[in-house]
A = this chain, B = another copy of it.
């Protein structure tokens, strides 16, 4: 593998929230807890443990309180939770979440479709929740969906995306995630937007969140790292689909992403073999195959057994070679 670039990257696991909320099968609470506890040992910066949303709206995450109560908090890991509104924020505080992940879309149409509010209404809500979090000394991250394009509106102007980032920064939040919600990002765009965002707000922690819907998830992640992004969302096993393209890939797979960065000489700080094992454990929980490659293929230098009879083949070939050459 390449000589380390000595640049440390940080990874946020989103399978337990972003992944599971799209699953038909309810994963039992004790299985969620066991998996989060396992993931906690693998080197993550953050694990998005659940969402404090309406149980009626997202039954898959109806056990948010029980999950937060059941997990073993490992020092150094930030257990973040998705918070849609003040009500969710109060629940999240009672569950002692380490961080709130708030969200809205850069696209007006996507925001309306997703949360039935205008973007200004979402910002007002984010402002309320951020104020509450600040009173409780809880760090806030805002995930800005459709930062690289909207499946209904098309491209969102870079200046518009950056203006939203500035409004979050003005609220005093700690982090902003630039989210490619439906896999529309491409490398030049990623370099430009991420570079400008970091330059404008050097003290904000920016996270890049890519989807593999158009097969460019890893390409974009590498471009983002080259532009100075140091924190990445991804999903174990690539869990989570794309609601706008049935059957298409959703989240970038964590193990494939970490493997790429390890090959490329970044310091991921992650237990890659442990990740692959955890992904294999995830598959029976959700009851279907996963889109990630590493659990099937292994690390790039994982040796595969030669075919049966190779030594005989070699001996026969060498015997022929020792006869008069044909040329």
Contact = CB atoms under 8 A, between A and B. Distances in A.
Interface of A: 1-2, 109, 112-113, 116-118, 120-121, 124, 127-128, 149, 151-152, 154-155, 182-184, 186-189, 212-216, 218-219, 222, 242, 244-249, 253, 256, 259-260, 263-265, 289, 292-294, 296-298, 300-301, 303-307, 310, 313-314, 316-318, 320-321, 325-327
Chain A contact residues: helix, strand, loop or mixed? loop
Given A152-B306, A296-B247, A2 B189 contact: yes
A214 B301 contact: no
8 contacts: A1-B186, A113-B313, A124-B327, A151-B304, A183-B300, A215-B259, A216-B256, A219-B219
Contacts of A2: 186, 188-189
Report the copy number of this chain in the oligomer. Answer: 2
A124 B298 contact: no
Given A154-B301, A296-B246, A118 B321 contact: yes
B256 A215 contact: yes
Contacts of A249: 293
Contacts of A296: 245-248
Contacts of A248: 293, 296-297
Given A112-B317, A259-B214, A317-B121, A149 B300 contact: yes
A226 B107 CA distance: 33
A254 to B, nearest CB: 11
A327 B171 CA distance: 13
